[in-house]
Amino acid sequence: MMNYAIHLYAPKTGQLTPSMIEWLYQHGQSRDQPELYWPVRRINTLALARVLIAFDRTLIPVQGEGRDVTLEYPMTELGLSLYIHERGVIISFPFMGSMLAQIVLRICYTYIRFLFDKAGFWSFDPQLNILSYADDFRSIDETVELMEAWLPRLLNS
């Protein structure tokens, strides 16, 4: 099954822009870019994982590659996880139907709002091509509509 992903970054300038997202897509996997060029802050993955676990003690940490950490939501049937990497966080979950999707998205936006308030993280939803600084709850409904439109196609493939 296909996963939905929301990317979170802490921009150095305090605001995430479309050109920054474009730069990240072009150079984000590169290890040879000087720190000066990066539009988002480097993350201490273990420290951020500890902060998120203090916020939600039910999260289950799983060591990733290198210093990456995955925090899994305790209800495994939701498939919700927060993947913390050197430059940000990716919140992912499977495509699902409307009521369950709304519940999962509200859980996600709790983490998104917390990370914005505590560390200035902005979110980028590549499926909807929306940048947000965490107070755009209208995008929950847009995301649910998108998942409902895509779900039949995913089930038939």
In a domain, 27, yes or no: yes
CA angle 62, 93, 40 (to 5 degrees): 70
Q: What is the mean pLDDT of residues 138-144?
A: 62
In a domain, 25, yes or no: yes
- Alpha-carbon dihedral sign for residues 11, 130, 154, 28: negative
The domain tally of the chain equals 1
Q: What is the pLDDT of residue 19?
A: 95
- Asked if pLDDT for residue 43 goes beyond 90, the answer is yes
Please say whether the beta carbons of 120 and 10 come within 8 A.
yes
- Asked if pLDDT for residue 150 goes beyond 80, the answer is no
In a domain, 116, yes or no: yes
CA angle 75, 124, 7 (to 5 degrees): 45
In a domain, 155, yes or no: no
Phi and psi torsions of 88, nearest 5° = 170, -160
Residue 81 CA to residue 63 CA, distance in Å, equals 13
pLDDT in tens, 73-118: 999 989 999 999 999 999 999 877 667 777 888 899 899 989 999 9
Q: What is the pLDDT of residue 63?
A: 94
CATH code of residue 66:
3.30.310
From the CB of residue 154, how many other CB atoms can be counted at a distance below 10 Å?
12
Which range of residues forms the domain containing residue 111? Answer: 3-150
Q: Comparing 11-20, 27-36, 95-104, 123-132, which segment has the lowest mean pLDDT?
A: 95-104
In a domain, 157, yes or no: no
In a domain, 143, yes or no: yes
- Alpha-carbon dihedral sign for residues 22, 28, 34, 39: positive
In a domain, 109, yes or no: yes
- Asked if pLDDT for residue 66 goes beyond 80, the answer is yes
